[in-house]
Structure 1
């Protein structure tokens, strides 16, 4: 047996598992089994695990009874044989391949325990696989429904194809005359196109000739007018004899008649060209009518082609549906084979799944412990970060205060420095004024003094004043520099 439920069950476990199947076991039968007690257990197991009712299990086949000469003699043997047949099939499914009549009529404790454990094993396995079987049955039902829908659609497509084929056959008689007429009209149109091309060439030539003749007539009219004007001018200028004048008039009349004759011939040719143009216009209208008729015929041919294309598409769709039906049938067979193989593999997968679940549980527990440690470490880190952030905020506030104090002191020192600069500038200006006045007085009061000695003393006095001024300036600048240096150090 390849089921996952254990087969070496204790007496209490056997009794409890059979009670779950609505089979109430007498524990004394496991040590001293009897036919009268064991058969109801097997009957209830067959009813519970195979889905056969008690009436179906005990009802004989009436068609088989009619064969016997005395069917009343087999009223008990046939139901017993039917029951044993179903029980044997069930026990083979449970993995007990040596089940026989002695296990029912002369049961042994060891074999009875083994058989009951096998039934319990199969029942547990059946309970575990009910969900999967239901899912597979649902999928199979869906595939069967899809197959039926595809079959219905296939029948519908076949009916549509037959209808289109009948319609095509019915219209085939109409298509042949239309195709013949189309070919005839196409030949006529081709011939007319050739004639049209020739006539177009002739029209171009005639138009060119008409234009040439019109130009010549215009030139002749202009020449005649100019000649008449010139003749009048000459006639006014020259006085000739009457005889000569009559001859000239006769010549002019003859020339005029010739011009009129030439103009009449040009008008006749122009009228002929107009008639030809009118004929060409009629021909073009007839040609347009033929072209329109050809377009209508082309539309009919296009509709015929569309119907043919639709029939072809329908045939292709039917072939596609047939291929899909074949694929679905193959997939259905494959699904049935997979269902059989899945039932064999499920036990091994469940055992492996149990081992994986246990390993996963151990891994989850280990990960939880690691998570707790990491969370504790994160909490400590968050506390340290909060403390450091508080220190940083204190340092930033202290730095802001120091910067504000420094800015205040710098502004105060700069104010003092500006005041000192203005004072030094005033002092230097006053000193320059004093030095200039003292030099002028010294030069006026010591005229009798030796020029050399007096000049030296004046130069010495000026030098002393300049040195004193430079000394004061350096002292003030040094004080301001020391103040700024002290401010920067602070």
Structure 2
């Protein structure tokens, strides 16, 4: 298959060779010789094939050992390697009729045509190598980022397993606290019910106390009236001392009875007041217990919220794992694109018979593909940065959740101990404050 490429002038060839730092003159192109052509071709092979002069001279020891007289072939080995590398380069550049006479007996027209093809290939290779290097750098960066994300994901999974282990280890204690909280809630409900009955009884006792106070006030009024009556009677002169004596005796008996009733009433009033004060104190203690139970409920709610946060963190870590899997898929896609690009470069190099217009179109398509790949890589980098930010946020959230969980569990334990002590004190005070049932009946 023929390959169309522009045949350059000698000045254009010399300019391109000068840019490639290959020494050549106008005479070397007009009247080429074996020595001048060999030097130019040697430089092009080293530059475009990627082998050095030492590598070309290095023999294949397995092949040399197969020769009967290896010393006779020391110079021919390098020459054969150079001829093979030059032939491959010229064929890739699109010259399919290259022969050794173009090297050993070069002609001006053939040399100019071969150099034009190689220079055209060098320009095409320079564009493709740049795109290939960019793709390879992006692929290496993506692979490195993928490894970092895998390590971060492994760390997060380990942290999550540790958190779940701690949570499972603390779950029996939490269940025990919840059961004890339910028992305390039942006790407080019973105490509230008992408190309601005591409040009713207290109101009844207050009414009784008010009645007794009124009665005492009336008895005191009667006593004062009796004293006044006694004084008035003493001031009167009567004809019957016996009758007066009996009246005084009756009045004295009445006064003593009233005094006894007043003393009993005052004593009962003091007892009722003492019971009232005790019940008021008990009521305050019960209210404190209720408040502490409400605080305990709030702490338990916070604990449940932390548990939900841990579940949410686990979901986010799972989502991050899915994102890493997606990035892995994108990395594989980039590798396939890279391989496709390499295959395309090889095909373009082997199919050197394409026309110049097709080459220009391929270059434009490659540039568009490069722009698309760069845009895709930029989007991938942005997604990777966002994922890294989310992972750091999840790590901080899990760390904060663990610290808050420890603090709240410690606070719940302390408050539970205080609550248990208060309940025991309340029960003791309640038992000591309430008299036996027969006395209440009396």
TM-score normalised by the shorter chain: which range applies?
Answer: 0.5 to 0.7
User: In the alignment, which of 138, 150, 165 is matched to residue 154 of structure 1?
Assistant: 150
**Separation of aligned partners in 2, 1:207 and 1:63:** 115
Q: State whether structure 2 residue 217 is matched by structure 1 residue 218.
A: no
Q: Which residue number corresponds to residue 117 of structure 1?
A: 116
Residue 181 (structure 2) pairs with residue 182 (structure 1): no
What SS does the aligned partner of 1:122 have? Answer: helix
Structure 2 distance, partners of 1:182, 1:247, is 72
Superposed CA offset, 1:100-122 (max 9, x none): 56655676765443222212333
**Cα pair 1:94 1:122 within 8 Å, conserved:** yes
1:7 is matched with which residue? 6
Cα displacement (A) at 1:189? 2.3
Q: CA deviation at 1:69?
A: 5.7
Q: Residues 267, 19 of structure 1: CA spacing in aligned structure 2 closer, same or farther, 3 A cutoff? A: closer
Quote the offset at 1:87 in angstroms: 2.7
Taking CA–CA contacts closer than 8 Å with sequence separation of 6 or more, which of the two structures ends up with the larger relative contact order?
A: 2
Distance in 2 (CA, whole Å) between partners of 1:284 and 1:138 is 74
SS of match in other structure, 1:7: coil
Q: CA deviation at 1:208?
A: 1.9
Is 1:202 paired with 2:202? no
Distance in 2, matches of 1:38 and 1:289, equals 100
8 A Cα contact 1:60 1:78, kept in partner: yes
Cross-structure match for 2:223: 228
| Equivalent pair of 2:139/2:334 in contact (CA under 8 Å) | no
* Residue in 1 that maps onto 2:408: none
* 1:381 equivalent in structure 2: none
Deviation string 1:110-144 (CA, Å, 9 cap, x unpaired) is 544322221233345567x4xx9558746853663
Distance 1:349 1:176 in 2: 62
* CA positional deviation for 1:167: 6.2
Say if 1:126 and 1:135 are closer, same or farther in 2 by CA, change over 3 A: closer
| Greater C-alpha Rg | 1
Structure 2 gaps, min length 5: 346-358, 367-442
CA drift at 1:149: 4.8
The answer as to 2:24 corresponding to 1:24 is yes
SS of 2:212's partner is: helix
Query: Superposition RMSD on alpha carbons, in Å?
Result: 5.0
CA contact (8 A) 1:189 1:291 kept: no
- Cα 1:135–1:291 change in 2 (3 A) is same
CA-to-aligned-CA distance 1:423-467 (integer Å, 9 cap, x gap):
xxxxxxxxxxxxxxxxxxxxxxxxxxxxxxxxxxxxxxxxxxxxx
Q: Number of residue pairs matched?
A: 342
User: Separation in 2 of the partners of 1:177 and 1:264?
Assistant: 55
